[in-house]
Amino acid sequence: MTAVDTRWTVTVDRDACIGTGVCAGAAPRQIEIRAGKASALAPETAPDEAVIDAADMCPMSAITVRDAASGALLAPEE
Partner 1 sequence: MTIDQEIRKYPFSEVPGIDIDPTYGLLRSTEPLARVQLPYGEVCWLATRYEDVKTVLTDPRFSRAAAQGKDQPRLREEMTYEGIIGLDPPDHTRLRKLAGKALTARRVNGIREDAQRIANEYVDDMIAKGSPGDLVEMFALPFPITVICELLGVPFEDRAQFRIWTEGLTSTSEQLMTYVEQLFGYMGNLVAQRREQPTDDLLGALVKARDEGDRLTEQELLSIAGVGLLLTGVETVSTHIPNFVYALLTKPELMAQLRADRSLVPAAVEELLRMIPLNPAAMFPRYAVEDVELGSGLVRAGEPVLVSLPGANRDPEVFDNPETFDFTREQNPHVAFGHGPHHCLGAQLARMELQVALHTILDRFPELRLADGDAGVSWKSGLLVRGPNKLLVAW
| Residue ranges binding partner 1 (CB under 8 A) | 19-22, 24-26, 28, 33, 36, 50, 53, 56-61
Pair 37, 28: CB distance under 8 Å: no
| Least distance in angstroms from the C-beta of 13 to partner 1 | 12
Q: Kindly state the smallest distance separating residue 17's Cβ from partner 1, in Å.
A: 11
Name the nearest CA neighbour of 39 among 8, 14, 65.
14
Nearer to partner 1, 61 or 68 (CB): 61
Question: Measured from the CB atom, is 22 or 68 closer to partner 1?
Answer: 22
